[in-house]
Amino acid sequence: MVVRQYNEELKYLEKINPHCWKIKKGFQPNMNVEGVFYVNSTLEKLMLDELRNSCRPGMTGGFLPGVKQIANVAALPGIVGRSVGLPDIHSGYGFAIGNMAAFDTSNPKSIVSPGGVGFDINCGVRLLRTNLHEKDVQPIKEQLAQSLFDHIPVGVGSKGIIPMNARDLEEALEMGMDWSLREGYVWAEDKEHCEEYGRMLNADPSKVSLRAKKRGLPQLGTLGAGNHYAEIQVVDEIYDKFAAGKMGLERIGQVCVMIHSGSRGFGHQVATDALVQMEKAMKRDQIDVNDRQLACARINSVEGQDYLKAMAAASNFAWVNRSSMTFLTRQAFSKQFKLAPDDLDMHVIYDVSHNVAKIEEHIVDGKVKTLLVHRKGSTRAFPPHHPLIPVDYQLTGQPVLIGGSMGTCSYVLTGTHQGMTETFGSTCHGAGRALSRAKSRRNIDYKDVLSKLEGMGISIRVASPKLVMEEAPESYKNVTDVVNTCHAAGISKKTVKLRPIAVIKG
Amino acid sequence: MNNIFKLKLTALGHPNPVGFNSEDEKEYRSVVLWLEDQKIRHYKIEEREGLRNIESDKWKDAYNTYQRDLVSPVVEGTLNEQLNWLLSYAVRLEYADNVTKYKDVKVEQPKQSAPNVVSSNPLDNLDFDSPAFKAGVERICALTGVGPHSDPKVRLSAVAKILKTAPHPDFPKNEFNMVQQPVDVLKLLFIQDLRELQTKINEALVAVQTVTADPRTDTSLGKVGR
């Protein structure tokens, strides 16, 4: 890493408009393209403070600041356009979380990097609507939260209640949500309203280690720990009545359920296995990167292809996982209200992935190109009329589900044409961490966090209360800042704001 | 029916095909007589007496006998059906008498007789040689920068190729609505088609589910983590 004074570093950064900064070439060595990041004044301060801290003498080790990570990604072989940092960006393994980058598949040197996807492969958010009103739910909120907690196992080491054997898992890895559909856990309409229709076709379970499968098998249908959660939310504000109507969100107070989860230990193992393979491939193909954590392999190499096939299987795992939890949520509601899920209108509004790499077509310098788009902590946000979004959202643009931190609000956005041209149809994914987990544990008391949530009228069920402070709102950036920045920058559009009334988490 | 009668009478060379009214008993009878006298000539002249007495009450009997003699399949039918068959029979005889004259005749406007339902898609009926088509192609070629070619169809396929592979060209402000509005309509029609297709797909999936689905849960497997 280049070591310079903070003032020197600033010369490489240029504010090109109130919500966007450019990172010029030379900020880090060998940058093939420029970097860019989106912020408002509050987030801008966080970004620059992080950089200033890293410039202090003696600050070595640990994660690089987000801006540096964006620039390192811009130095990867085959990258096109710009290395994009979204407003919720924070340091991660290799790639910052909230960094998207696209690589030209027609360039033989282009790479795929597990660090650009993240360890929780196809972590994502799914939103279910209901026809209930807040006043229907408030009186039995506690029972409902308990019922969800009983149906959906949470926490580290939790095990699911949907019986599965090894053969079922193999099929699920290959078929994704089609498996859930075949077995009757979800509705046909759920598949229609899911990114990629809930199935990556290039998945190949034979490229997944036995270890990953062993870790994954008992975990299907479990929420996991960390920042994952299931929340009962109510519509708090509607910004775009037309788009909200298309999603079936018609009125303030309407009850929804948000599920935020991923591929659990399965995805983690796939990523870990791949990193080992990639180190070998880098030596062989003489791929130079600025940061050891940016381990990667050429897209067309055996290692690159094996990773993409295993990653697709992990993505399918995550969709089956969220589908199983959809089934369990419907059961929990159905029991409480003594009505069929159909009668409660419990449709999936949409399901987004925010840790994934996908082959997509984009226009680069006036030409259509096939790119491998890495989105790590970044959500796809395709504009109206894009062929890959469901027919119901052709006029509004793709729904983008932004889960807030625990106890704060969440948002539904839609994709825009401007986002398509500026960020390869990508936007933010959530609040984004401000404090590290260790720092949160040191600075915040879990009892304070729980009593604060209680004070806000939010029912909460947690498996491990002592980890709650890691997820306290204070540990995160303000999701409203993040979302407003994306809206003001034009890379996505605000549709609906949701407020939690009950949370279950690991 | 009157229209068919008119066409057939014209074909047979009847002196007043346009004015003929089949509802008028007298006119009806005289056309039947005219057909026998001039075209069918099934009876000898003296045998046609019964038909010739148009004013007589016995004409109907003579007409029935006449039809039976011709082996008409619609003797029991309505008067119009009976006349129609007679007219067709006469046309057939006329054709048979002059096969060499008629066999090469081509129908000039086949669409005239059929209702115009088939061509509801205007694109099917595009006249590629019309000046309007050529002028339209000229205009989009100017907008997309496609060079000249003698065949407008070749230029049109070049335009299609450009639109498929490159970002759409910006239209001049004054042209914007003229281009945008039809494009919007096409997009909406497309979305409607897509919705129908998706609904059919969902129905197929649900049909399969009735055979394959068996969702189960086993709470004894569940375990809450730390």
pLDDT tens across the length of chain A (506 residues): 556 889 999 999 999 999 999 999 999 999 999 999 999 999 999 999 999 988 887 766 667 899 999 999 999 999 999 999 999 999 999 999 999 999 999 999 999 999 999 999 999 999 999 999 999 999 999 999 999 999 998 887 788 888 889 999 999 999 999 999 999 999 999 999 999 999 999 999 999 999 999 999 999 888 888 889 999 999 999 999 999 999 999 999 999 999 999 999 999 999 999 999 999 999 999 999 999 999 999 999 999 999 999 999 999 999 999 999 999 999 999 999 999 999 999 999 999 999 999 999 999 998 899 999 999 999 999 999 999 999 999 999 999 999 998 889 999 999 999 999 999 999 999 988 888 888 888 888 888 888 888 899 999 998 887 778 888 888 889 999 999 999 999 999 999 999 999 999 87
Tell me which residues of chain B, numbers 148 to 187, contact chain A at a CB-CB cutoff of 8 Å: 165-167, 187
Beta carbons of A162 and B166 less than 8 Å apart: no
Q: Is A387 an 8 Å CB contact of chain B?
A: no
B202 belongs to a structural domain = yes
In a domain, B109, yes or no: no
Residue B115 falls within a domain, yes or no?
no
Say if B182 falls within a structural domain. Answer: yes
Q: HSE on the CB side for A68, CA within 13 Å?
A: 24
Residues B92 and B136 in one domain: no
| Token duo for residue A324 | 């199983």
- Are the C-beta atoms of A79 and A102 separated by less than 8 Å? yes
Same-domain status, B141 and B53: no
Under an 8 A CB cutoff, do A191 and B222 touch?
A: no
Q: Name the pLDDT band for B226 (thresholds 50, 70, 90).
A: low
Whole-number CA gyration radius for chain A: 21
Both structure tokens of A378: 């970044």
Asked if A409 contacts A497 with a C-beta cutoff of 8 angstroms, the reply is yes
- Report whether A30 belongs to an annotated binding site: no
Residue partners of A489: CB distance under 8 A and separation at least 6: A17, A19, A20, A38, A422
What local confidence, expressed as pLDDT, does residue A442 receive? 84
Question: Are the beta carbons of B216 and A162 separated by less than 8 Å?
Answer: yes
SS3 content of chain A, % helix, strand, coil (to 5): 40, 25, 35
Q: Is A227 annotated as a binding residue?
A: yes
In a domain, B184, yes or no: yes
CA distance B127 to chain A (A): 31
B6 and B99 belong to one structural domain: yes
Same domain, B162 and B84: no
**Residue A451 near residue A381 (C-beta atoms within 8 A):** no
Domain boundary among B39, B73, B103: B103
| CA atoms lying within 13 Å on the CB side of residue A469 | 14
Whole-angstrom CA distances from A177 to A166, A171, A213, A357, B221 are: 17, 10, 18, 18, 22
CA dihedral B119, B123, B128, B131 (to 10 degrees): 100
Which of B69, B103, B137 delimits the end of a domain?
B103
Kindly list the residues from chain A whose CB atom is less than 8 angstroms away from the CB atom of residue B166: 366-368
> With pLDDT > 90 as the criterion, what percentage of chain B qualifies?
21
Tell me whether residue B206 is in a domain: yes
CA-based nearest residue in chain A for residue B165: A368
Name the DSSP letter for residue A471.
G
Q: For A28, which DSSP code?
A: S
Report the sign of the C-alpha dihedral through residues B107, B108, B114, B117, in that order. positive
The answer to whether the CB atoms of B221 and A182 lie below 8 A apart is no
The amino acid present at A276, given as its one-letter code, is: V
Residue A83: beta bridge partners? Answer: A35
B193 within some domain: yes
pLDDT of residue B170: 66
- List CB contacts (< 8 A) between B214 and chain A: 183-184
Domain identity same for B89 and B34: yes
Residue of A147, A150, A156, A161 for testing the chain B interface, max B β-carbons within 10 Å: A161
Neighbours of A70 (CB within 10 A): 31
Q: Are residues B6 and B92 in the same domain?
A: yes
Contact B215 A327 (CB under 8 A): yes
B165 with B199, same domain: the answer is yes
- B58 and B17 co-located in one domain: yes
Choose the final residue of a domain: B71, B103, B135. Answer: B103
Q: Annotated binding residue at A354?
A: yes
In a domain, B95, yes or no: yes
Are B179 and B87 contained in the same domain? no
| Residues B88 and B177 placed together within one structural domain of the fold | no
Lowest mean pLDDT among A413-427, B65-79, B101-115: B101-115
Q: Domain total for chain B?
A: 2
Q: Which domain holds residue B200?
A: 122-221
Flag whether A278 is marked binding. Answer: no
Give me A64's structure tokens. Answer: 């690089």
In terms of domains, do B7 and B41 share one? yes
Q: Using CA atoms, how far apart are residues A291 and A295, in angstroms rounded to an integer?
A: 8
Yes or no, beta carbons of B222 and A160 under 8 Å apart:
yes
The answer to whether A335 and A215 are in contact (CB under 8 A) is no
A383 lies within 8 A of chain B by CB: no
A182 touches B: beta carbon within 8 Å: yes
Judgement on whether residues B99 and B131 belong to the same structural domain of the protein: no
